[in-house]
Amino acid sequence: MLDCIIRNGLLPGAVECVDLGISAGKFVEIAPHIVAQAEDEFNARGYLLTPPFVDPHFHMDSTLSLGTPRFNESGTLLEGIQIWAELKADLKAEVIKKRALRLLDWSIARGTLAVRTHVDVTDPTLLAVDVLLEVKEEMREWVDIQLVAFPQEGLLRSSQGKDLLVRAVEKGVDVVGGIPHFERTTSHGTESITWLCELAAQKGLQVDMHCDESDDPLSRHIEHLAYEARRTGLGAKVTGSHLTSMHSMDNYYVSKLLPLIAESEIQVICNPLINIHLQGRQDNYPKRRGLTRVPELLGAGVNVALGHDCVMDPWYPMGSHDMLEVAHMGAHCLQMLGNSQLADVFSMVTGRAAQVMQLENYGLEVGKDASFVLLQAKSVSDALRLRPARLAVFRRGLCIAETPEVKAQLHFGRNEGQVDFL
């Protein structure tokens, strides 16, 4: 006797529906028709069933703080950092926690069941670290959270930077972060990368750095990050986030850089919503898009994922933590709407993002966690086109969120029918 059978689900890329049998929170059978009995059955009605969405790059300490103490009028990264510094001085634990939990309600409703969040470790009290470690523990049953120790105001800009980062790691933060392009000088950026990678190697942790998040074609910290990933043996445990300067780099230099990145095995995260908004702000026309070179990185064999980065904070005023919005924006701004590219785009907010976070038991396969999202869609391209309702979100065999089907009712002329855009 199984715990549950999901009937008539359409898996990505499939034409025929399947049933999925679940026991003890795991998939135990996936077949055209399961004959075994189950305690419970759930009818997927021929809709698309996908692995949960994964957000590998987020900032949960600043989320939902939009407008406090003021709005970012210039739309630049630097004004965002300034507003965050002003806000940080007055932050209270209960406020950070309330916002984070509210955000996670949205995440789960959207089917985002794994989140890697950076947490600022340049506040001497490390208040946000303590709060988000608590949130991670409280929410463990429903969502996988990884914390990155992120020196938002620079590792080497203050005398306490290194000490605070080490203290955050000792408190239980999962990943070592960095921001080399924001250090005072390029050589300090280089020095910070070496120090952070050596710390991660010594502690057995992953690295995920904000790297070259600028329009400066000469911001080339990614080169040193790739070098250190190889030298320290960290390899795929290192991720370079943003890499927007690659958009503006000289093409000849990029032809040398891409193989270096591939050889180092580091992974890359692009954040389309945020960087299409923040980059190119000093440009007149033409304005650069400022996103890193995703199709070329994929072509070189590098694993690339997409992140949401921000929801309603000093850097970005929009969003509801919907990874299909990220994928939709990415597909357009990266010019990846080719038919064969859509599956890649979808994988960058599911499987490829899970690979960045090194999630275990992820995927629609026998033996893996029975966690999935049922979308009001019939294909992956429908999902990207419509960003449709998450009809059901399952976590380890349990339905933890539902959204009703969305249909428009027509009232004109010949037509009194319903439209679902499929």
In the block, tokens 């939990």 appear at: 101
Query: In this complex, which beta carbon is closest to Fe ion, that of residue 60 or of residue 377?
Result: 60
User: Which residue number is nearest to Fe ion in terms of Cβ?
Assistant: 309
What are the CA-CA distances from residue 394 to residues 39, 110, 194, 328, 401 (Å)?
16, 11, 41, 23, 7
* 286-315 positions binding Fe ion, by CB under 5 A: 309
Query: In this complex, which beta carbon is closest to Fe ion, that of residue 153 or of residue 309?
Result: 309
Query: In this complex, which beta carbon is closest to Fe ion, that of residue 2 or of residue 311?
Result: 311
State CA 265 to chain mean position distance.
19
Task: Kindly provide the b/e burial profile for residues 26-48, where b requires at least 16 CB atoms within 10 angstroms of the residue's own CB.
Answer: bbbbbeeebeeebeeebebeebb
Q: Do residues 344 and 335 make contact, with C-beta atoms less than 8 angstroms apart?
A: no
Q: Is 6 helix (H, G, I), strand (E, B) or coil?
A: strand
Query: In this complex, which beta carbon is closest to Fe ion, that of residue 243 or of residue 383?
Result: 243
CB of 315 to Fe ion, least distance (A): 8
213 is an active site residue: yes
CB of 274 to Fe ion, least distance (A): 7
CB of 314 to Fe ion, least distance (A): 12
Give the β-pairing of 390-395 and 398-402. Answer: antiparallel
Could you give the CA distance from residue 350 to residue 97 in angstroms, rounded to a whole number?
Answer: 26
CB of 389 to Fe ion, least distance (A): 28
CB of 121 to Fe ion, least distance (A): 14
Could you give the CA distance from residue 316 to residue 77 in angstroms, rounded to a whole number?
Answer: 10
User: Going residue by residue from 80 to 119, which x/- string records binding to Fe ion, judged by CB under 5 A?
Assistant: ----------------------------------------
By CB under 5 A, the count of residues binding Fe ion is: 1
- Kindly tell me the sign of the dihedral angle through the C-alpha atoms of 333, 336, 338, 342: negative
Strands of 336-380 (E only): list them.
Answer: 372-375
CB of 213 to Fe ion, least distance (A): 7
Q: Which of 79, 213, 228, 325 is catalytic?
A: 213
Q: What are the φ and ψ backbone dihedral angles of 139, each rounded to 5 degrees?
A: -100, 0
- Kindly tell me the sign of the dihedral angle through the C-alpha atoms of 301, 332, 108, 390: negative
Query: In this complex, which beta carbon is closest to Fe ion, that of residue 42 or of residue 316?
Result: 316
* 304-363 positions binding Fe ion, by CB under 5 A: 309
Alpha helices by DSSP H, listed for 373-415, are: 380-386
The DSSP letter of residue 416 is -
Query: In this complex, which beta carbon is closest to Fe ion, that of residue 215 or of residue 309?
Result: 309
Among all residues, which ones are annotated catalytic?
213
By the criterion CB under 5 A, which residues form the site for Fe ion?
A: 309
